[in-house]
Amino acid sequence: MSFRPSDGTSQDLRVRVQGVPVDFYPALPPEVARGTVRRVTVVGEEILHRRCREVTQFGTPELSCLIDDMFATNAVADGAAIAANQVDVDQQLFVWDITDDWGVRHVGYIANPVLDELPTAQRVLAEESEGCLSVPGPYKLVPRPDHAVVRGRDKDGNPLVIEGQGYFARCLQHETDHLHGRTYLDRLARRERKAALREMEDTKAGVFARRAARAAELGK
């Protein structure tokens, strides 16, 4: 996922890693240095349009390597988050590195995420600009609830609960959508969807060039 930056304040501006506040965190997640950049899939590729398989093998070097690679790929693409099927892997997993509306940075990953169903009385929709690394270029207004809770597992199989507000809530929902075979385009009216695809064709070359330059900058 990709976002335009937002402003705001918070009483506690510490970085949240896997939902837990920490006193220090580097500008780039440590996984970026370890990871290898993978090709980002583009809307229309089959893997983006079907439900991904659940992660069943935890505590493996392969899963740790995939998480590292996803962080590296997300960093090169200047993304806020990326799902496994966006690096052509059929597993229910996504990672994030995003600063929310209040200036709080959130970094982490989750496997087999399931969003809590919000009671109707608690659903407050926010219509905000949203983009996607697999739809390189365009941003479109997409309505989503401004609060989200997602439950899943960490790489060792331990239970994990992540809660988000505002843009971070949008991120959690956007990435969970990916693992169900949906992109944000599927939430647009047909005319808007076609316009976004036309814009993508006009802008994707520039996006790919910027990613290549960022990869060189990071030595990837």
State the CB neighbour count (10 A cutoff) for residue 191. 8
Query: 177 and 183 in contact (C-beta within 8 Å)?
Result: yes
| Dist CA 68 CA 211 (whole Å) | 18
Q: For helices 190-217 and 61-76, what crossing angle results, to 10°?
A: 100
Helix, coil or strand: residue 151: strand
- Token pair, residue 210, equals 């910027």
- Provide the β-strand partners of residue 164: 148
Distances (CA, A) of 108 to 29, 39, 70, 188: 9, 21, 11, 28
Dihedral sign, Cα of residue 69, residue 73, residue 76, residue 82: negative
- Provide the β-strand partners of residue 141: 129
Among all residues, which ones are annotated catalytic?
175
